[in-house]
Structure 1
């Protein structure tokens, strides 16, 4: 293991939009990330399990089970794990205030950094007007999104066998479409305003699969990204500073063992 690959320990890790139960989930990359990164507290910021897709078609390969077991193992070793459900795992909102496997389930929470700043931690779907007021359209959009991810999966199988790093076709296309860019901007502004309304220093959210860390709207806005397109997480260092980790861009993915035929077909 090189010095660059040595395990790192953070004060806090934030992960969202893993979408376990879908073919687009980059579970192998996430497992690689979890092997080399630990934290005192881990926030699961929604859409960890994709209940929408699982209701339509069951897809749960061993790698997805491995992700769950890896997170539970971190909890058993002393990490505090807090789960704020999103729209795809909204069934967990029936269990707010409970614990399962050592994981706390809350609708939203306030995280205090090492330097005393306070951040609203929330998935963010209730600030998405499509999800709130036109759920049928959200389901249609989900179908189109999954279709793009299936294409993306095939493309990256070829890239991986060529020794190239992961690249997201869907993320690239999304940022090229003006309406999508406008939606992202409006979402960020709305969440920043909610943080200001609650009197905190910033917000940490997920939902739109677009990692970010900025103060463009007057309040610190952080988005964790996802593990189907960008393969990103947010880390709080022990001094209270934040970092968006782009795991796929670091090249670890290209060095993972090539999948067996059985695993590739899972």
Structure 2
């Protein structure tokens, strides 16, 4: 499948964050489905792509997660400019920022210039999370609790499939949406990120970290959050004319079901 295929959407840039490879909650199959149907000139990985925090306790690395890595490497080698901005869960890679690994550029942060000339600051966002910055043990405890919900959700997903209930539903995402303090935290996070973006003189910010997809205007600046590939399966894309949009692939899969798979050789990294 390629960009000439009518099923493939060609966009100028794709922004992904919080994939959490190496964990049971990673929705690698859904991400592969998204990538099969989206080609781009730029691919930005906005942090928490690999979850070293979770992998220090136990590793869940499925064949589909391996294929995600292969597919990204293949795109970088075939001409897509791939830029990886490590987050807090893959912060070990931050010491390598400024280098190129397998045709993938590692950057601590980045400025993306859209087709219409507007400039967007790309950053994972954990620097603006007061819990992560100042109370790391609380963040780690929360991560353990979150992964427990994901584990429970895996069993619920099996039950849903057994009962013939289509689509993916996230217990962790549902719980987070129902907690009022989480809503307050999200707004505090967005305010902090936007305050910094304004001081940098950019037109907007694209971030991740909080697993809450968003696109909105704040006093003349654009705030965009990529969401995640654990709870929601969302991305931000830039169209060729400079317009940005949220792609809710989880919702698309719930509405239409999986698309046709590619031939196996298309998913394999060449030697």
Residues 42, 255 of structure 1: alpha-carbon distance in 2 compared, 3 angstrom cutoff? closer
* 1:29 matched residue in structure 2: 30
Structure 2 residue aligned with 1:254:
257
DSSP 3-state at the match of 2:40: strand
Identify if the C-alpha distance between structure 1 residues 135 and 5 changes in structure 2 by more than 3 Å, giving closer, same or farther: farther
Distance 2:259 2:112 in 1: 34
> What is the deviation of 1:129?
0.7
Q: Distance in 2 between matches of 1:208 and 1:242?
A: 20
Query: Where in structure 2 are the equivalents of 1:124-135 lying within 5 Å?
Result: 124-135=125-136
Q: Deviations over 1:104-149 (max 9, x none)?
A: 0000010000001000000000111111111111000000111111
Q: CA RMSD in A?
A: 1.8
- Corresponding residue SS for 1:123: coil
Alignment of 1:149 onto 2:128: no
In the comparison of the two structures, how many residue pairs are matched?
A: 255
Q: CA deviation at 1:256?
A: 6.4
1:48-87 map, 5 Å: 48-87=49-88
Q: Which moved more, 1:243-252 or 1:120-129?
A: 243-252
Unaligned ranges ≥5, structure 2: 261-271
Shift of 1:163: 4.7
Q: TM-score, normalised on structure 2?
A: 0.90
Where in structure 1 are there 5+ consecutive unaligned residues? 258-266
**TM-score with structure 1 setting the length:** 0.91
Number of the residue aligned with 1:92 = 93
Distance 2:108 2:126 in 1: 11
Q: Is 1:96–1:106's contact at 8 Å kept on the other side of the alignment?
A: yes
**TM superposition shift of 1:217:** 5.4
Deviations 1:239-261 (A, max 9, x none): 0001100001112683369xxxx
Report the CA distance between 1:56 and its aligned residue: 1.5
Which runs of structure 2 are paired with 1:233-252 in the superposition (5 Å)?
233-251=235-253
Deviation at 1:216, TM superposition (A): 3.8
